[in-house]
Structure 1
Amino acid sequence: MAHKTFISYKYSEAKNLRDRIVDSLGEDAKYYQGETSESPDMSDRTTEYIKSKLKDMIYSTSVTIVIVSPNMIKSKWIDWEIEFSLKQIKRSERRSGTNGIVGVVMKHNGDYSWLRPEKTYSDGHTAIMTKNEYLYEIITKNRFNQNPKEYSCDVCKTIDQLTGSYISLIAEEDFLRNPDRYIENAYEKSKNVDNYELCRQK
């Protein structure tokens, strides 16, 4: 099922990935509500004007796709867009729902180790770590926040990549191969917010 989407990203380094994500949506791209290469330049507009336009874009959507790129946290907009996406906003008689959110990790220098390096333990097993210094606090606080937790392995206490966190982090290659899967997963979580300890403020 198609859902209206918004993409939050740092323009200077992620606009090409934004375009590839929109292209990957195929027919469902018509439900995309965010900026495209055809959008007017708003860089010379006031902060309040830009916020007003972004609010209009996000309000009618149900899933926000956040492009996680190396310099994302230098953006003055992305954490605000995430915060707005998580709010329930009332306009006239209609109240928006909490958006589902999925993070798409951008490949940098050929891989994802800038954010998610692999660590090998003394017993030989490996694990993917996350360098939280590249993430906004509003993202880290919405990771591993399923309540109650459902472990995919009761012995090693690992959680499912898609259901264990309200904001899942997905490699760009995986997302581009099957965007419907990850958008639908984010949407389903938004309909079950009571299963997560949500942080709605940056």
Structure 2
Amino acid sequence: MAHKVFVSYHHDNDQAKADYLRTQYGENNTLLDKSLDEAYEDMTDDEILAAIRTEHLKDSTVTIVLIGSETANRKWVDWEIYASLRPYGDRSRNGLLGIYLPTAGDAPARLQDNIDSGYAVTMKWENISWQLESKIDDAYDNRNKSALVKNSRKRRERNS
């Protein structure tokens, strides 16, 4: 089954992997490229979260987090995961899929919380050709497991 997928990643380091994912696998799933831009720096936290929900995640059902060397240190990645895990209006929360890139460092803490709880699904980039579809489906199916969602961690205030 095809799903609309939001991709969260460290833009400076992992843009090439995100582009490859979209060009090679975007046909079977709609991979949304609605990343945050620097204009959000002038908005309040509440305005930013509202924009993430209504402009970036609104059509998606699964969030993929590309886990590279610096992904865990990125404020916007944390906020995208946070917003993905929160249902609002008539919209359900997103499933989570973490993909460990060859350059992977630590997973973002909020993602790791959900990997540990069993809510988030993971895979290695090297297995993308044969696992991506089934892992997206697994993440989508986990949306019904609300008891496993861990989203109480304080949001990152800055990049490190």
Q: Same fold (TM over 0.5)?
A: yes
Give the structure 2 partner of residue 2 of structure 1.
Answer: 2
CA distance in 2, matches of 1:139, 1:105: 12
Indicate the structure (1 or 2) with the bigger Cα radius of gyration.
Answer: 1
Deviation digits for residues 133-191 of structure 1 (CA, Å, limit 9, x no counterpart): x233212221232xxxxxxxxxxxxxxxxxxx211221012124332111101001113
1:169 aligned counterpart, secondary structure? strand
For structure 2, the 5+ residue unaligned runs are 154-160
Give the structure 1 partner of residue 158 of structure 2.
Answer: none
Task: Tell me if 1:46 matches 2:44.
Answer: no
Give the percent of matched residue pairs that are identical in Structure 1 and Structure 2: 22
1:177 to 123, 130, 137: 130
CA distance in 2, matches of 1:179, 1:24: 11
In the TM superposition, residue 53 of structure 1 has moved relative to its aligned partner by 4.4
Give the structure 2 partner of residue 144 of structure 1.
Answer: 116
Matched-pair contact (CA < 8 Å) for 2:122–2:135: no
2:102 aligned counterpart, secondary structure? coil
Paired residue type of 1:86: L
CA distance in 1, matches of 2:135, 2:141: 10
Matched-pair contact (CA < 8 Å) for 1:8–1:64: yes
CA distance in 1, matches of 2:80, 2:115: 17
CA distance in 1, matches of 2:136, 2:145: 15
CA gap 1:24/1:185 in 2 versus in 1, 3 angstroms:
farther
Matched-pair contact (CA < 8 Å) for 1:9–1:18: yes
Paired residue type of 1:101: L
| TM superposition score normalised by structure 1 | 0.65
| TM superposition score normalised by structure 2 | 0.80
Paired residue total = 148
Task: Tell me if 1:107 matches 2:102.
Answer: yes
- The structure carrying a bigger helix percent of its residues is 2
1:101 aligned counterpart, secondary structure? strand
